[in-house]
Amino acid sequence: MRIIIVLVNLLFFFNHAYSQTEWYWQNPLPTGNNLRNTYFIDNNTGWAVGNSGTIVKTTNGGTSWINQTSGLSNDIYSVIFTNSNTGWAVGVQGGKIIKTTNGGTNWITQFNMEPDWLPSIFFTNSNTGWTVGLSGAIYKTTNGGEEWITQSSGTTNSLISVFFINSNTGWAAGSSGTILKTTNGGTNWIVQYGSKITTTYNSVYFKDDNTGWAVGFSNSLNNSNIVTTIDGGANWTDQNSPTNYPINSVYAIEIIAFLQYNLWIVDNDGKIFKSTNGGSQWTTQLSGNNTPLSSIYFSDRNTGWVVGSKILKTTNGGTNWSASSNGTYTNLSSVYFTNNNTGWVAGDSGMILNSINGGANWLAQSSGTGNSLKSVNFHDNNTGWAVGVSGTIINTINGGTNWTSQSVETNNTLKSVYFTNDNTGWTVGDTGTILNTTNGGTKWSAQNGSTDKSLNSVYFTNNNKGWIVGNTGTILNTTNGGTNWSAQNGGVINSLNSVFFTDGNTGWAVGQSGIIIKTINGGNNWSAQNVGYNLNLLSVYFANNNTGWVVGKGYSSSNMFKTTNGGLDWTNESIGVNSLNSVFFSAGNSGWIVGDRGTILKTNGVITSIQNLSSEIPEQFSLSQNFPNPFNPSTKITYFLKSSVPVKLSIYDMIGRHIETLVNNVQGPGIYQVEFNGINFSSGAYIYRLEAGDFIETKRMLLMK
């Protein structure tokens, strides 16, 4: 029966065509997801892992980072490498352990554990390793992760951190003050410490067989906790903590062999502390950060990294820390592009960013306000408006070089703005606020919607016909530019956050609890659709009557869904970002999403068709020259796989910037062909790169328009 299943799977691979679309980070870089752990094999090469399946890698000490594809959508808590190629990571997705043998170019799922939360993994060499988790779970491998054997911990308390000094001697620590030790590779674990039942230890670290630390926090006392041992854990003693916030990581490095070492800890308040006497006294190091820090690692006495909401690096032992990540972390609420190149985003504290190259670079504009902005809308490359809290309306007539305040008679928060031309526009907000202008905002006049509900979104298809949606299922419609507004029945009581119409008849509104409603007759009737997840949908955009996207908050692995049949079916795009506030597509296929913590994501929107051309199994891996070449606008790339491997086919420009990923999944043996459409790219030479397992090959192609 097993042979039959394999043959059926192979036949499925043959003649199977499918599509992929990629979203990638534009801000902050390398990622806006929170990072939980970092590991370096030397001063140059390291990895960091974090929320929503994030893995990033650097080969130049953190000057630049590249995103790697983990294959996971939930949080990754721990990563370790035994050399530049071989590494493992674990987290919170069905107890999966993932492994790479090529430095992270490809990650494969190695094992599915129970429980499904594995917060720590440690290897002493490329064969021997341990991972720990819920309810005292400990697993060990002696063959690089091909098999994992359950070890008896003797506790049901959750284990959060594991550390080994060699293949025999190690410690595990976790909830209820638990610290365990083994001296025979985990065959037996003994409880060393467990008197502080209200303390959770987040990290355990030993500098040698005798001297170590465990750090964490006390739930009942609401403060941090540090304990140390100088006899291998036979006795643990309290140390004074320099912080009241939970401590998440501890690391020590030798300065003078057997005589002196430095010790660091990081906490939830974004602080880094250093001790030169084993933790008796601590000095605060300036991190320039006030958000939680999760992990610290030093590759030598001077060079270290800290990760959390940002990536920080030091080259002088922590005297100075500088950002190894860049961009804004301000929450962003709205995005709008006038073409594939020119766009704006708006967010908290009056933040406005502008790009003139499709988001490759974002520059801050002076908005003239510190009030949070909720919506931005442009009529052309020069003329635009943004609205926000306390009745804020600002306007530009030169693309944002200058923004000026417009006067309105309300202090209510304005949540949405929409203009049909340079003169005519509407903005809506709290307590039923509807304002209209017919002179570009020189004067704004109130319109009566006969409601005191918060109004969250406004959209017009022409100067007369428009819709507003708001709390408790409110839908308002006008056919005379807002002189009169009438209520429509959407059949829902959930708050509606966003509305979009492709023409005067066909539109969608989205809101709380994953609600999507659609009309095909201008709102006279609405029918319910649902993405299948209980999340708060905040934005909807449709490119045409069939293809659309919704984004929101509340589902851990992804908050973006796409339809290609007008909403009959919605597919989770699994882009690995949690809090998304606004989605927008330009007239072409380029799209952007913005969200909390400065999130800006982009797709080039080209759906890449991938097809296996033959059931013939090639004798070797190879990549063919694209045809035609030169091309305009599309070309076909053929590659050969002799076995089933993780495959990644990527496009780069001539200075090495990543442009698009065409393929990124496991494929069976066969001859594959991908059609690449360069309609959204400028003329010039490009590099395409195939990574198939350990096989890597690149070729050059020429786009001539």
Q: How confident is the model at residue 434 (pLDDT cuts 50, 70, 90)?
A: very high
Q: How confident is the model at residue 257 (pLDDT cuts 50, 70, 90)?
A: low
Q: How far is CA 537 from the centre of its chain?
A: 17
Mean pLDDT of the 438-444 span: 98
| Amino acid 612: pLDDT | 64
One-letter amino acid for residue 541 of the chain: Y
How is residue 234 annotated by DSSP?
S
Q: How far is CA 339 from the centre of its chain?
A: 25
Q: Is the pLDDT of residue 245 over 90?
A: yes
Q: Is the pLDDT of residue 611 over 80?
A: no
Share of the chain above pLDDT 90, in %: 73
Q: How confident is the model at residue 532 (pLDDT cuts 50, 70, 90)?
A: confident
Return contacts of 470-479, CB within 8 angstroms, 24+ apart: 470/428, 470/432, 470/495, 470/496, 471/495, 471/496, 473/511, 475/499, 475/509, 475/523, 475/526, 476/449, 476/451, 477/522, 477/523
Query: Which residue, 222, 217, 221, 211, is CA-closest to 259?
Result: 211
Enclosing H/E stretch for 5: helix 2-13
pLDDT tens per residue across span 378-416: 999 999 999 999 999 999 999 999 999 999 999 999 999
- For residues 564 and 390, the model is more confident at 390
Which of 290-294, 383-387, 650-654 shows the lowest per-residue confidence on average (mean pLDDT)? 650-654
Distance CA 465, CA 264 (A): 62
Domain 608-703: CATH superfamily is Macroglobulin (MG2) domain (2.60.40.1930)
pLDDT tens per residue across span 186-226: 999 999 986 677 899 999 999 999 999 999 998 766 789 99
Given a contact cutoff of 8 angstroms between Cβ atoms, the answer to whether 72 and 32 are in contact is no
Q: Is the pLDDT of residue 648 over 90?
A: no
Strand ranges, E, within 290-399 = 293-298, 304-308, 311-314, 322-323, 332-337, 343-347, 352-355, 363-365, 373-378, 384-388, 393-396
Beta partners for residue 393, in sequence order: 387
| Amino acid 556: pLDDT | 59
Positive or negative, the Cα torsion across 141, 144, 145, 146? negative
Beta partners for residue 425, in sequence order: 419, 437
| Amino acid 610: pLDDT | 60
- Compute how many other C-beta atoms are within 10 angstroms of the C-beta atom of residue 691: 21
Tokens of 57: 């890698």
pLDDT tens per residue across span 96-108: 899 999 999 889 8
| Amino acid 111: pLDDT | 79
Distance CA 198, CA 695 (A): 51
Q: How confident is the model at residue 11 (pLDDT cuts 50, 70, 90)?
A: very low
| Amino acid 667: pLDDT | 75
Q: Is the pTM of this model over 0.85?
A: no
pLDDT tens per residue across span 669-691: 888 888 888 877 889 999 999 99
Q: Could you tell me which CATH number the domain at 332-603 has?
A: 2.130.10.10
Distance CA 416, CA 386 (A): 8
Given a contact cutoff of 8 angstroms between Cβ atoms, the answer to whether 336 and 315 are in contact is no
Average pLDDT, the chain: 90
Distance CA 314, CA 312 (A): 7
